[in-house]
Amino acid sequence: MLKKIFFPLISIFLAYNTYKLILVFDTASPDRLSLLLSFILAVLLNLFISGIFAFTGFAHPSSRLLPDAYYEVKNPKALSAAYNILGIKFFRSFLLIAFWGKEKNRKKYFNGTKSGIQNFDFQTRQSEFGHLGAFIVTTIVCMILLSNGHVITLLLTMALNIISNLYPIILQRMHRVQIQRLTKYISS
């Protein structure tokens, strides 16, 4: 109960700070920002915007805002090609080493049972929705950066956005390809 109130408040706090950070780009001249400061601002933008969606998703089933049809993978071959071309298997390996390698963390998503498949599907949807929302909002913020001439910050922000949001979206969709296959197998 507490997290259903507290986590959305954190999201509001992050949204406010994102707004305040965007105002910095309206007032600061691009040539006054060093590469290091541009990188720090790019990291903060990505963290704040991703946090807005993450904390909301921790408290509420935000993935239900999109229809079930969105979450169905209709072209697994094209998805697999994108997965391979973008090198997302290396990103997945990094996540396994850094965080998901611990059995306790993996069991939160999938415990090996039939009901665990439903939970895994829900968790992939929640994760994908959060990363999709963050990807879209961060891309919009990048347009604001571009209109204010902050090209270096834009490039850094978008690079981080691709790694921290687009890659997880594709990874979650790949998980759902496996979930769809497993669900078909179990029902037949």
CA distances from 127 to 35, 55, 77, 169 (A): 31, 11, 22, 8
Question: Residue 185 CA to chain centroid, in angstroms?
Answer: 29
Residue 161 lies in a domain: yes
The domain in which residue 165 lies consists of 2-62+74-187
Per-residue pLDDT tens digits for 36-86: 999 999 999 999 999 999 999 999 999 999 999 999 999 999 999 999 999
The helix/strand/coil state of 4 is helix
* Residue 67 domain flag: no
- What are residue 102's phi and psi, to 5 degrees? -75, 130
Query: Does residue 42 lie in a domain region?
Result: yes
How far is Cα 53 from Cα 97, in angstroms, rounded to an integer?
24
Q: Please check whether residue 111 lies inside any domain of the structure.
A: yes
* The predicted structure's pLDDT at residue 143: 97
pLDDT at position 105 is 66
Residue 176, judged by CB atoms within 10 A of its CB (0-12, 13-18, 19+), counts as buried
180: nearest Cα among 79, 62, 107, 37: 79
Give the total number of structural domains in the chain. Answer: 1
Identify the pLDDT of residue 16.
98
Answer with the residue of higher pLDDT: 106 or 137.
137
Gyration radius of the chain's alpha carbons = 18
Q: Global pTM?
A: 0.91
Report the mean per-residue pLDDT for the chain: 92
